[in-house]
């Protein structure tokens, strides 16, 4: 796995320059990646199965996490992994974001539910560093060290993606604000890994009629600065399909003291610093699970022996053509997901905001969908063994299902990709992608699909709003078919031609299906 990630990383245009600017050569990068792999293998993976089996529980109003969690969280914090890409002035190591993303993939594949806590703290540290000068000196170093943690608190029972309907109310009380209301689906809303947990919460400071313009952002710690209870109550832990090792909590704020971050009424816009980093993490979760499933399926298929002539020893099932087909499909998805994550992270590191914003809905959606498909295929490769809890494939399958739901559903990503990235931004991200690929690639499947996608984008941009709404999902999938084909050709040129052959052979059909979905949506609208 690690060798594959490194090959993809160094093959990504722009990474070598970022590594050089950070004083990192191939040996230094390899050392970072090898340490990440070692921690994933020796520290995280051994606790993942037990965490899935035992889950989290509520004891005396507090969440008790699975065995090993507090120690693992502290270890990753003390070793610098939680906020590796944060500025050293705020407790980070200042690593390029692309290296942080690459090194996180083994962690996500080993223990995705546990890693959700680290992802929230990392994203929160970046938000506080950018927007809260009065808080960052206290909070950021402690978040980076694993001493404190943060959550993201948006959803409510009557307001999920519809943020404008939030009812949690914040009222000013002298120099502080006091929040009252209920938040749901809060990952690691409480736990025993750190003493202090800060909730980055949206609450209403304006009228209901103002919608999102009446919502502000607050940091609400579970303990006040003098160590007193701050009225944050845990109502329950959700029972879920997967992610049993991640406590998804319903929280109730009871006159809880909070500090406003940024300007009043601009909470959602300010929280997007954290939301976008967490969406990037979701893409990494999908890519990490995909890589782990590829490793698992290949290893099992090389050792499991079945079939062949009765007079001879049975061959490894990897030699059976149908199994080989599935293994190649798994490998292709793993490579492309990795390439997409690194491409997006390099764009973030280079300050290519339009290009990064264009890639983010694709990374969030299709690394997640790919993880579901690959985990399912890995179960198929393992056969009856894959369906049992003796092997981690079924757990990875259950855990991966959330990736296309939280941090913005696939439908929301489709609308973001169309209405923001194409229409509002004038197609700036698409133009950046097109220029990059045409400068890099010789004519082939990828560039042919790019031309078709540009034409499709023009037709969608000229359509009416209702037609665009109906076509958004298909448009997102057409973008993925185009981008993945271009990335597949890059990967094939690095010596992965066998793994990419099937993906590229099916790329025109994949695009055609998405294109037909768009045309149908435009007609229906």
pLDDT digits (tens, 9 = 90+) for 5-56: 999 999 999 999 999 999 999 999 999 999 999 999 999 999 999 999 999 9
Cα–Cα distance, 121 to 117 (Å, whole number) = 6
- In sequence order, what E strands does 230-316 have? 232-237, 248-261
Q: Are 25 and 215 in contact (CB under 8 A)?
A: no
And the tokens for 291? Answer: 């890589």
Task: For Cα atoms 280, 294, 345, give the angle at the middle one, nearest 5 degrees.
Answer: 20
pLDDT in tens, 219-277: 999 999 999 999 999 999 999 999 999 999 999 999 999 999 999 999 988 888 888 88
Say which of 156, 373, 407, 499 is annotated catalytic.
Answer: 407
Q: At what angle do helices 97-131 and 26-39 cross, to 10 degrees?
A: 80
Beta-sheet pairing, 196-204 with 148-153 = parallel
The three-state secondary structure class of 456 is helix
pLDDT in tens, 427-439: 999 999 999 999 9
Q: State which CATH number among 3.40.50.460, 3.40.50.2000, 3.20.20.80, 1.10.540.10 fits the domain covering 2-145.
A: 1.10.540.10
Evaluated on CA atoms 411, 413, 416, 418, the torsion sign reads negative
Cα distances (angstroms) measured from residue 509 to each of 242, 445, 503: 33, 11, 10
pLDDT in tens, 448-488: 999 999 999 999 999 999 999 999 999 999 999 999 999 99
Region label for 55, one of left (φ > 0), alpha (ψ between -120 and 50) or beta (otherwise): left
pLDDT in tens, 332-346: 999 999 999 999 999
Please report, for the chain, the start and end positions of each structural domain, with discontinuous segments joined by +. 2-145, 148-265, 409-525
Is 34 one of the catalytic residues? no
Cα–Cα distance, 282 to 344 (Å, whole number) = 13
Cα–Cα distance, 226 to 196 (Å, whole number) = 11
Q: Are 386 and 379 in contact (CB under 8 A)?
A: yes
pTM score, two decimals?
0.95
| CATH code of domain 148-265 | 2.40.110.20
- The pair phi, psi for residue 518, each rounded to 5°, is -65, -50
């Amino acid at each position: 796995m690690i060798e594959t990630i490194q090959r993809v990383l160094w093959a990504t245009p722009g990474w070598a320059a970022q590594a050089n600017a950070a004083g990192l050569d191939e040996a230094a990068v390899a050392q970072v990646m090898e340490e990440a792999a070692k921690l994933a293998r020796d520290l995280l993976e051994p606790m993942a199965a037990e965490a899935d089996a035992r889950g989290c529980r509520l004891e005396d109003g507090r969440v008790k996490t699975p065995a090993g969690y507090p120690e693992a969280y502290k270890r990753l914090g003390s070793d610098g992994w939680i906020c590796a890409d944060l500025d050293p002035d705020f407790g980070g190591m200042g690593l390029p974001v692309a290296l942080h993303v690459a090194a996180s993939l083994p962690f996500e594949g080993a223990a995705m539910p546990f890693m959700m806590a680290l992802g929230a703290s990392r994203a929160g540290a970046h938000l506080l560093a950018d927007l809260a000068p009065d808080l960052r000196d206290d909070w950021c170093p402690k978040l980076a060290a694993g001493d404190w943690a943060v959550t993201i608190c948006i959803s409510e029972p009557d307001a999920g993606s519809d943020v404008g309907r939030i009812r949690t109310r914040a009222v000013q009380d002298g120099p502080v604000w006091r929040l009252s209301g209920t938040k749901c689906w809060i990952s690691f809303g409480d736990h025993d890994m750190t003493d202090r947990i800060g909730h980055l919460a949206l609450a209403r400071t304006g009228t209901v009629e103002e919608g999102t313009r009446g919502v502000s952002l607050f940091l609400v710690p579970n303990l006040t600065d003098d160590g007193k209870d701050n009225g944050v109550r845990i109502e329950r832990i959700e029972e879920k399909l997967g992610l049993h090792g991640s406590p998804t909590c319903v929280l109730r704020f009871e006159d809880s003291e909070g500090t406003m971050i940024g300007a009043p009424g601009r909470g959602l816009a300010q929280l997007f610093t954290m939301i976008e980093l967490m969406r990037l993490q979701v893409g990494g979760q999908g890519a990490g699970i995909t890589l782990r499933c590829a490793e698992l399926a290949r290893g099992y298929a090389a050792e499991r022996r079945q079939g062949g002539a009765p007079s001879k020893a049975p061959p490894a099932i990897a030699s059976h053509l149908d199994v080989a087909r599935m293994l190649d499909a798994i490998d292709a998805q793993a490579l492309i997901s990795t390439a997409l994550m690194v491409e997006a992270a390099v764009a973030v590191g280079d300050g290519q905001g339009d290009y990064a914003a264009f890639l983010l809905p694709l990374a969030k959606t299709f690394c997640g969908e790919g993880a579901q498909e690959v985990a399912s295929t890995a179960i198929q490769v393992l056969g009856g063994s894959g369906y049992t809890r003796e092997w981690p494939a079924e757990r990875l399958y259950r855990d991966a299902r959330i990736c296309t739901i939280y941090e913005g559903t696939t439908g929301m990503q489709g609308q973001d990709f169309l209405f923001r990235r194409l229409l509002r931004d004038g197609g700036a991200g698409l133009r950046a992608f097109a220029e990059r690929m045409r400068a890099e690639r010789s004519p082939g499947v990828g560039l042919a699909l790019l031309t078709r996608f540009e034409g499709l984008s023009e037709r969608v941009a000229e359509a009416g709003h209702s037609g665009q709404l109906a076509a958004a999902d298909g448009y997102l999938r057409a973008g993925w078919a185009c981008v993945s084909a271009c990335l597949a050709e890059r990967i094939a040129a690095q010596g992965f031609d066998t793994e990419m052959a099937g993906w590229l052979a099916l790329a025109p059909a994949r695009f055609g299906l998405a294109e037909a979905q768009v045309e149908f949506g435009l007609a229906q609208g």
